[in-house]
Amino acid sequence: KAGVTQTPRYLIKTRGQQVTLSCSPISGHRSVSWYQQTPGQGLQFLFEYFSETQRNKGNFPGRFSGRQFSNSRSEMNVSTLELGDSALYLCASSSGTGTLGQYFGPGTRLTVT
Amino acid sequence: SQKIEQNSEALNIQEGKTATLTCNYTNYSPAYLQWYRQDPGRGPVFLLLIRENEKEKRKERLKVTFDTTLKQSLFHITASQPADSATYLCALANTNAGKSTFGDGTTLTVKP
């Protein structure tokens, strides 16, 4: 099976702009989760989508949003970018039932200047 | 608040020895505990998942134990190799792995 893919891999944006990141999960996986990873905060959970519905949400401001399509592909959007949003954004897919772990993509490296 | 502590930021061992990494947690009753490996610049790779009613799980040279009374998991790599050098992350989840809380990781270096 093909792994989790994320596009783009690298992105440079300016403060105040918005950005959309994309994630294609492993075929058959219905759960897609998004995480932010920074050197200071580690891996922080953003949200999880399951069958097109947001099932869980982390403690991030409303500027961070996402959605999932009927084919399980997911997008994450960050509006009004701040310097502190510079991070590696990781997408992970899983079966959604908890019996197995998550399979991560390579991440999108976002730099906000 | 929920807190996950992984024993040390860095662990150095000699090739062939057993590496033991610790994950302690507080204010949490996880149903699942997972271990991941992460190499620089890459996404984490899932290694093992253990449920709260399981005491131990093995996969090749890897062994995980889960003590819900001590609120601790131990992760062992036997016959370690330089290729095992990486950061190892512990993660906890309640209902499903899709919403996991991660520790900060332990960076393991195996010296030849």
Chain segment B58-68, per-residue pLDDT in tens: 999 999 999 99
Q: What is the DSSP letter of A61?
A: -
Q: What is the pLDDT of residue A2?
A: 82
DSSP A1: -
Closest listed residue to residue B98, CA positions, set A12, A112, A72 = A72
Evaluate if residue A98 carries a pLDDT over 70.
no
Residues of A in contact with B31 (CB under 8 A): 98
Q: Which of B29 and A104 is assigned the larger pLDDT?
A: A104
The per-residue pLDDT for A99 is 64
pLDDT of A38-77, one tens digit each? Answer: 988 899 999 999 999 999 999 999 999 999 999 999 999 9
Q: From chain A, which residues contact B within 8 Å (Cβ)?
A: 4, 31-33, 35, 42-45, 48, 50, 55-56, 58, 90, 92, 94, 96-107
Evaluate whether A10 touches A108 at the Cβ level (below 8 Å): yes
* Cβ-Cβ contacts under 8 Å for B98 (sequence gap 6 or more): A31, A32, A33, A48, A50, A55, A56, A92, A94, A96, A98, A102
CB A3 within 8 A of CB A26: yes
Contacts of B67 (CB under 8 A, 6+ apart): B55, B73
Find the CB nearest A43 among B45, B93, B102: B102
> Tokens 């932010």 sit at which residue?
A36
How many percent of chain A have pLDDT more than 90?
85
Mean pLDDT by 10 residues, chain B (112 residues): 84 96 91 94 94 94 95 97 97 82 95 96
Per-residue pLDDT tens over the stretch A1-30: 689 999 999 999 999 999 999 999 999 999
User: Tens digit of pLDDT for each residue in B20-30?
Assistant: 999 999 988 88
Asked if the Cβ–Cβ distance from A96 to B34 is below 8 Å, we say: no
Q: What percent of chain A has pLDDT over 70?
A: 96
Residue B19 half-sphere exposure toward CB, CA atoms < 13 A: 30
